[in-house]
Structures are given as C-alpha cells and as structure tokens.
Amino acid sequence: MRRHLPLAALTSLVMAATAMPARSTPAWLAIAPQPQTQTLFTVTCTDSNNIWAGGENGTILHSTDGGRTWNAQASGTTLRVHKLRFVDAQHGWAACGAPNGYGGALLHTTNGGGTWTPQLDGTYYGFISALAATSRFDCWAADGYCDLERSADELTWTGRSVCATAPWPGGWIYGISFPDSTHGWVVGGGDIGSAGILHTSDGGGDWSLQPAPYAGELDGVVAVDSRHAWIWGAGWWGNMSGGFILHTIDGGTTWGLQEPAQSYNLHELFFADSSSGWGAGTYGTIVRTTDCGDTWTQQATGTSATLYGMQFSDPHHGWAVGEGGVMLRYFPDGYTLGVGDTPPALSATIGQNVPNPFGPQTTLSFALATAGRVQLSLYDVQGRLIRKLIDGGLAAGRHEAVWDGRDETGIQMSPGTYIARLLGAGRESSVRISLVR
C-alpha cells in the first residue's frame, strides 16, 4: 500500500510547485554554507554588515556582508571564545576561558580582528566570564570569581573585587551590562540561594546588592537605560524550577518575574529598546516580546540546536548562533521569493527537471548550501508516495538524481503530472514534472 501525504501537505506541495506570484518563509533561517562545525557561544555586530561570532577552540569568524559569507580569524588561542564585544568596526575584545572554568584570556583587536593580542591572562580563577563596553575607553570584564576588571584607555586594566564593596552572595559573575558609563549591573551566582545582583550608579565606584527574588543562577543581564533591565537565569520559585526572566523598571529597586520558561532555558537576551526584545536558548528556542517582556511568543527557527548567542544591529537585522556551529539570520517580516527567484544561500532548493515533459527518464538537479541529510521523493497529485530517490547525507553543492518513471517496485507509472519534493537544510522545495510516453 502506498503512503499518502496529508491533504493539507499535498495542497501545499501542489501550490508550491505551481507558478505562484510569491512565497513567504520563516523569520529565522540558517545561514549557509555553514562555515564550520565548532559550537558558537557568542555573536556581536557594529552594523548590519559587520558581524563576528566566537566559539570552541579559539574560533572567531567575521562577516562583512551581513552573514552571507564568513572568514575565519586567527585568535591565537585554543580557549573557548564565549563573549565578543566590538565598539566599532575596528576595536573589540574577546573573552576566553577553558571549558572547566580554570584559566582564560582577554583578547583585543584594533583592526577588526585581523590580529588579536592578549590583554589579560587568567590564573586560578581566570575564566573571563563576562564582558561589556560602552566605548573604547569604558570597558568591563569579569575575571572569574567576583573580580571585576576595568579599562579606561583600551590597553590597561585595573582590577577590584566586588566582594570588598558589597555582600556578594558567592559564585561566579556571569553577566555585566552598562547602558551608559555611569549605570551598570553585575549578576551571577552558583548554588541554590546564592543568586547575586549588584548595581552601580557612579561608574563602578560603589556597588550595592539588589534583592534577587528567586534562588538559583543568574546567567546574564541586559540594560537599555538606567531604569530598564532584564536578567535571565535558571532556578527555583515556589515548587517550580526552570528558566526565568526578571525585569526592573525602577533601576533595580524591585525585580519582577516574567515568562517562567519551564520548558526551556535562555542563554541570551537582547533588547533594542525598553519594549522590543528577543531571547535565545535550548531546543532552538527564540522568543520575542514587543511589550517590555510582559508577554513572549516563540518564533520558528527550523533547528533544535541549543542557541547560545544573539545580537541585533537594529530591529530588522539580527543573528543567533549555537550548538554545532549553527548560525541563524533574522528576517523580521519573513522574505518573499518570486517566480524564478533563487532563495538566499541558506537552503536546499530543487530546480526544474530536464527534460520536461519527459519520457522515458528525466534528471532532477538540486543545490545544498550545507551538508546534511536530504530526502528527494516523487508523489502523484493525490499525495501518494511513488518513489524515494534519495534518503541520506550529502555534501554541500549541486547534485543530480535520475527518475526513470518507475515506482519503488519497478512498475512503470502512467503518463501524467507528478511532484518532486526535496527536504533538506530545514526547508522544503518542490516542482511539478510531466511524464509522457
């Protein structure tokens, strides 16, 4: 018995394979070709064209065309690059650390990453765990266990322990955010009950402990001005546990709970202003808010890989990176393909078969922007599976498959219209083909 496609799926296939004026795609799409497979933990940008991403084994990638193409940069380290910050297209820092948390380095560039030089070398608690910069001459780094380093000249750093100025509850510093040179937050923690939120309103001269309403680890903080900030983490409230977001509208005097995200944990938040923000996390999760975080909606990403880093140059240009080197690009309204248009180089696409109409055989050509598993199948117009031509892994590039007009059992099919359907790289593409005698 032949398997059938559901009616809705068949309708979609027929419509997609018929000359339609346009077709919309999801808002988040995988950038391809994927330049490498090292897990990426951070992404940053200075505008919609200049983007950097960092990850395992000293990986630093740079794009000058909005993420369409990428070049690897020589970081000079095999440590994990887990935070990148650029204040302009030339000047930036890379926070690095060993996966076990012991040992790290802070790298600096003055030529867009053409060369990277070490500025801080970590020792026992030397994992450079957080990084922030408001300008070339106002930079902050967390040098492991409750130690902050600051640079006011881009080159030299002065350290101080926040434990000496505020009753830090213990654990690592995981996040720093300064919306301006005066106001800033530091967050972190470790064991149950050790969540910490520190705040300064005088450029780091003094730090005060703010109330953390929930126990657990605070993984990061983002502030858009002196009053509005968000913290994300994982921990406990009542009898529940999981990911959560905290929000303040009064400079941290009070923090309220937003979106108890029990089904996923967030690894990054980004806010363009006090209303509009995104979050990225486990299971390929990206969430979106337009009301300061009071409500969040999940956006389709086409991946189940954990996403660790996210950055936007403006509300219309954003990127997310994560597990296995996955890289996503944001299209705020989706993008539209007209008849005969070629999709961006981030998909698997099938071209019209040659010859068409055909008999006794025809060649189907398709392109893969990234290596991965591909299915190329033939269906009749009732949605019945006729034959599966390809089902397995293929390299990136152009490929061909020949159909001789027969089904899986070798029986010659009747003349008529059939649909070739390609699944791969998180996308579906199809064409109508005509078999004649």
Q: Are residues 323 and 265 in the same domain?
A: yes
Is position 157 within any domain? yes
Share of the chain above pLDDT 90, in %: 34
Provide the pLDDT for residue 128: 85
Q: Are residues 368 and 313 in the same domain?
A: no
Overall number of domains in the chain: 2
Half-sphere exposure of 194 (CA within 13 A, CB side): 15
pLDDT in tens, 100-111: 767 788 999 999
Provide the pLDDT for residue 213: 74
Residue 217: give its domain's CATH number: 2.130.10.10
| 380 has a pLDDT exceeding 60 | yes
Q: What is the CA radius of gyration of the chain?
A: 25
Provide the pLDDT for residue 399: 85
Q: Are residues 294 and 371 in the same domain?
A: no
Burial 86-106 (b: 16+ CB within 10 A, else e): bbeeebbbbbbbeeeeebbbb
Highest mean pLDDT out of 174-183, 228-237, 300-309:
174-183
Please give the residue that has the higher pLDDT: either 435 or 18: 435
User: Percentage helix, strand, coil, to 5, in the chain?
Assistant: 5, 50, 45
pLDDT in tens, 128-137: 889 999 999 9
Provide the pLDDT for residue 15: 38
Share of the chain above pLDDT 70, in %: 78
Q: Are residues 343 and 297 in the same domain?
A: no
**Is residue 137 classed as helix, strand or coil in its secondary structure?**
coil
Q: Are residues 200 and 234 in the same domain?
A: yes
Q: Which of 254, 252, 256, 234 is nearest to 244 (CA)?
A: 234
Cα 221 to Cα 184: distance, rounded to the nearest angstrom: 10
pLDDT in tens, 166-224: 666 666 788 999 999 999 999 987 654 567 899 999 998 888 888 877 666 788 999 99
Secondary structure element (H or E) that encloses residue 9, with its range: helix 7-17
Cα 253 to Cα 207: distance, rounded to the nearest angstrom: 13
Q: Are residues 30 and 13 in the same domain?
A: no
Classify residue 171 as left (phi > 0), alpha (psi -120 to 50) or beta. Answer: left
Q: Are residues 261 and 394 in the same domain?
A: no
Is position 299 within any domain? yes
Q: CA 76 → CA 60, 114, 331, distances in Å?
A: 10, 11, 34
Highest mean pLDDT out of 306-310, 333-337, 355-359:
306-310
Give the long-range contacts of residues 390-395, CB within 8 A, separation 24 or more. Answer: 394/368, 394/424, 395/368, 395/371
Residue 412: give its domain's CATH number: 2.60.40.4070
Please give the residue that has the higher pLDDT: either 267 or 351: 267
Provide the pLDDT for residue 74: 96
Q: Are residues 210 and 101 in the same domain?
A: yes
Rounded mean pLDDT, 50-75: 93
Q: Which of 203, 195, 87, 185 is nearest to 142 (CA)?
A: 185
Q: Are residues 386 and 301 in the same domain?
A: no
Q: Are residues 31 and 18 in the same domain?
A: no
| 276 has a pLDDT exceeding 80 | yes
Q: Are residues 257 and 326 in the same domain?
A: yes
Rounded mean pLDDT, 138-163: 83
Rounded mean pLDDT, 336-348: 42
Q: Which of 260, 266, 265 is nearest to 278 (CA)?
A: 266
Is position 2 within any domain? no
Confidence of residue 122 (pLDDT cuts 50, 70, 90): low
Rounded mean pLDDT, 118-137: 78
Q: Which of 126-130, 271-275, 338-342, 353-357 has the lowest mean pLDDT?
A: 338-342
Provide the pLDDT for residue 312: 92
Q: Which of 311, 334, 357 is the last residue of a domain?
A: 334
Confidence of residue 340 (pLDDT cuts 50, 70, 90): very low
Cα 10 to Cα 377: distance, rounded to the nearest angstrom: 13
Q: Is the pTM of this model over 0.85?
A: no
Q: Are residues 52 and 179 in the same domain?
A: yes
Mean pLDDT, the chain, whole residue set = 80
Q: Which of 334, 365, 386 is the last residue of a domain?
A: 334
Is position 1 within any domain? no
Query: What domain range includes position 45?
Result: 26-334
Q: Which of 271, 302, 334 is the last residue of a domain?
A: 334
For tokens 């935070």, name the residue: 83
The DSSP-derived string for 199-215 is EESSTTSS-EEE--SSE
pLDDT in tens, 33-62: 567 888 999 999 998 889 999 999 999 999
Provide the pLDDT for residue 7: 36
Return the DSSP state at 342.
P
| 91 has a pLDDT exceeding 80 | yes
| 79 has a pLDDT exceeding 60 | yes
| 256 has a pLDDT exceeding 80 | yes
**Is residue 387 classed as helix, strand or coil in its secondary structure?**
strand
